[in-house]
Amino acid sequence: MASLVAHAVLGILVIGVIIRSNPGIFRKVPDGPRLSAIEVTLYVAGFASVILGWYPNVRFVQQDGPDKVFFNPLWGDGSWAHYIKLMFDNPAASSAGQDYTIANVVLLPLFTIVDGRRRGIARPWLYFVSSLFTSFAFAWAFYLATTERQRRLSA
């Protein structure tokens, strides 16, 4: 369970660094609502993905992790390596696993880094880092909400 707590803390820290690195984007909007309808929708989808993903991740660590409080989260039972191995356990899982892996490890960082630099977003690579501790859907929704907020502020 310590690994899950560490993931949660690291996820919150990375989100905080993104927000603090971009004070111009995350400042109060002078005219209009604090959040637009699209921003709310994106944040709800992102947080829902974390909440919905948390339950099976807790079960995975409880069922497959060792009984020790502290263990190596990189390899062994209940680790990332074990999780990834199970992601390719059968043909159906393999299809979804490869799609998710390419989207999260290649496309998300490529898009957020290139697009983020073009938009003047500081440290856009942190959106990928956040996906390692939250979820792919959360990182993607958070990035899109950031760009929507930036668009509203520049209007």
pLDDT band for 62, please (50, 70, 90 cuts): confident
CA distance 103 to 137: 10
CA distance 14 to 9: 9
State yes or no: pLDDT of 73 exceeds 60: no
pLDDT band for 50, please (50, 70, 90 cuts): very high
CA distance 10 to 15: 9
Q: Which tokens go with 6? A: 């560490």
Can you give the pLDDT at residue 146? 97
Which alpha helices (DSSP H) does 65-135 contain, by range?
80-87, 91-102, 108-119, 126-133
State yes or no: pLDDT of 3 exceeds 80: no
pLDDT band for 64, please (50, 70, 90 cuts): low
Closest to 77 in 3D by CA, of 60, 101, 57: 60
- 121 close to 22: Cβ distance less than 8 angstroms: yes
- Tell me the whole-structure pTM to 2 decimals: 0.87
What percentage of the chain reaches a pLDDT higher than 90?
59
pLDDT band for 65, please (50, 70, 90 cuts): low
Q: Which tokens go with 48? A: 């829902």
